[in-house]
């Protein structure tokens, strides 16, 4: 069965996909789910309960316990939560547990925008619109560094760049649902684009895709 009208946004960390996905959802009047929050929430639960995020069985149990209220924690968008998320997301048991949550959201009346790392390849492979948002590791590390500095945190660009590269390697090298563009996804490189230019480019991709059926 073909998925409802879904805009699938995938890409590595700090490429700008979350901001774009939220803007697209508002622009086209669709529901929005940042699927990365699911993995961040599992990672946060692991840290709070003293569970090793590299323990696949334990992480899988936590993922099966996840409820929507776990996504309301504002600290889930922090850098530390992102690192823990990348570690638990490597486990097939975690990804399987969270797949139904994402697919149920995608089936909501009126359609939805989901952003993550395997939306177009695994979660909604029949989505009519697939965009893979990317940027160079150096640009993404600079964005993350600037973001943290703006929040008053002392950070080192070289360390952030190393973490970005390590996370890319984990996300792309995992055996289950590795980070990669779907074969029919449109690539959007934001390395040299500000958010407005990236948004216009994304809208152009959506508008050139199959029309939404009322």
Residue ranges of the binding site: 11-19
User: What is the three-class DSSP state of 74?
Assistant: helix
- The most distant pair of C-alpha atoms in the chain lies apart, rounded to whole Å, by 50
Rounded Cα distance, 89 and 95, in Å: 6
Residue whose structure tokens are 């949550």: 101
Task: Say how many C-beta atoms besides its own lie within 10 A of residue 172's C-beta.
Answer: 12
* Nearby residues of 14 by Cβ (< 8 Å), 6 or more positions away: 135, 140, 141, 143, 144, 164
Q: Residue 113 pairs with which residues in a beta bridge?
A: 7, 32
CB 21 within 8 A of CB 113: yes
Residues tagged in the binding site annotation for ATP: 11-19
């Amino acid at each position: 069965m073909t998925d409802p009208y879904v805009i699938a946004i995938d890409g590595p960390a700090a490429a700008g996909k979350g901001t774009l996905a939220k803007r697209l959802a508002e622009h086209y009047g669709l529901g929005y789910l940042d699927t990365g929050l699911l993995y961040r929430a599992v990672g946060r639960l692991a840290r709070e309960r003293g569970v090793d995020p590299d323990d696949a069985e334990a992480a899988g149990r936590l993922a099966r316990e996840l409820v929507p209220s776990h996504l309301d924690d504002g600290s889930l968008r922090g850098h530390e939560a992102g690192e823990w998320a990348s570690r638990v997301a490597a486990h097939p048991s975690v990804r399987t547990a969270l797949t139904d949550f994402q697919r149920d959201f995608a089936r909501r009346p009126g359609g939805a925008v989901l952003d993550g790392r395997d939306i177009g390849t695994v979660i909604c492979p029949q989505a009519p619109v697939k965009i893979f948002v990317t940027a160079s590791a150096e640009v993404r590390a600079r964005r993350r560094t600037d973001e943290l500095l703006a929040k008053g945190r002392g950070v080192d660009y070289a360390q952030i760049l190393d973490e970005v590269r390590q996370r890319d390697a984990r996300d792309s090298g995992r055996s289950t649902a590795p980070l990669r563009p779907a074969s029919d996804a449109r690539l959007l490189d934001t390395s040299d684009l500000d958010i407005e230019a990236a948004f216009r480019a994304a809208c152009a991709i959506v508008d050139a895709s199959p029309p939404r059926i009322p």
